[in-house]
Homo-oligomer: A and B are copies of this chain.
Amino acid sequence: MLTTSIANPSNVTSLAERRLLHETVVDQLRDLIVQGELAPETKLNERVLAERLGTSRTPLREAIKFLASEGLVELLPNRGAVVAALKPEKMQEVFVVLGALEALAGDLACRNASEADIADIRALHYHMLAHHARGELAHYFRYNQQIHQRIIDCAGNATLAQAWRAMNAHVKRARYLANLSGERWDKAVKEHEEMIEALTRRDGAKLQMLLRDHLANKLVMVMEALQARKTEVVR
């Protein structure tokens, strides 16, 4: 699942908690950044943030260092940390790398996925189609993400999966800005259709290519969204 239930605002003390505070803080902070609640280039005030997350500065700082390694925050010596900027150039870089990783994953998935795996992915695909038909963007994104995630998982390479997740965090962040136009959305769905087909036929070379193209198109959408945001700010 994408987000851990954030429900728990206050105490962690009452129940016997297996999970470490550090991890929950990492997840909470990552969600705040990915979902845009902490906008790009926002300064992270440790005292304020720690209070907001119901913890002290120590675990928060550890979480910040962890996310810095993922690239979601940037460390400024003696000046704390800021949410990583969301620059077009950075997005281009991320998409290039993500393209290579997904292409690899697609190829591996075609070899390693079980029939049950493929059936699952196809099921997710139909859910996604349903939400597309109803114009339910948020739900569409959710299933879209799950499909990509499952393809990665089917590659059977945990290291690849982790690298992908880190890159994908940046993309997800941009997604929250994107307003899919009807025609672009239809095109994306069509591409998914072909991807599912290639996966079913276990045509690794084809899937690889489709994933690359799909990502290239996503990049175009994200860049447009970033451009729109920029002019909006200026206006």
A residues touching B (Cβ–Cβ < 8 Å)? 13-14, 16-20, 22-23, 58, 61-63, 65-71, 74-79, 90, 93-94, 96-97, 100-101, 103-104, 108, 157-160, 162-163, 166-167
Q: A90-B159, A97-B160 are in contact. Are A78 and B13 (CB under 8 A)?
A: no
Bound form: Cα–Cα A163–B67 in Å? 14
Distance to closest chain B CB from A25 (angstroms): 11
Residue of B18, B74, B100, B158 near A13 (CB, 8 A) is B74
Bound form: Cα–Cα A232–B150 in Å? 40
Q: Please tell me if the beta carbons of A20 and B78 are within 8 angstroms of each other in the complex.
A: yes
Q: A18-B77, A20-B77, A79-B16 are in contact. Are A97 and B65 (CB under 8 A)?
A: no
Q: Please tell me if the beta carbons of A17 and B77 are within 8 angstroms of each other in the complex.
A: yes
Q: Please tell me if the beta carbons of B14 and A157 are within 8 angstroms of each other in the complex.
A: no
Interface of A is mostly: helix
Bound form: Cα–Cα A2–B74 in Å? 22
Best-buried of A77, A94, A103 by chain B (most CB within 10 Å): A77
Q: Which partner residue on chain B sits nearest A92 by CB separation?
A: B157
Task: List chain B residues, Cβ under 8 A from A61.
Answer: 62
Q: List 14 A-B contacts (CB under 8 A).
A: A14-B75, A16-B76, A17-B77, A18-B77, A19-B77, A62-B65, A65-B66, A66-B69, A69-B69, A69-B70, A93-B157, A93-B160, A96-B104, A97-B101
Distance to closest chain B CB from A106 (angstroms): 11
Q: Which partner residue on chain B sits nearest A18 by CB separation?
A: B77
Task: List chain B residues, Cβ under 8 A from A19.
Answer: 77
Q: Name the 9 nearest CB pairs between A and B, nearest first.
A: A69-B69, A93-B159, A18-B77, A14-B74, A100-B104, A20-B77, A62-B65, A65-B66, A93-B157
Q: Please tell me if the beta carbons of A167 and B163 are within 8 angstroms of each other in the complex.
A: yes
Bound form: Cα–Cα A66–B74 in Å? 12
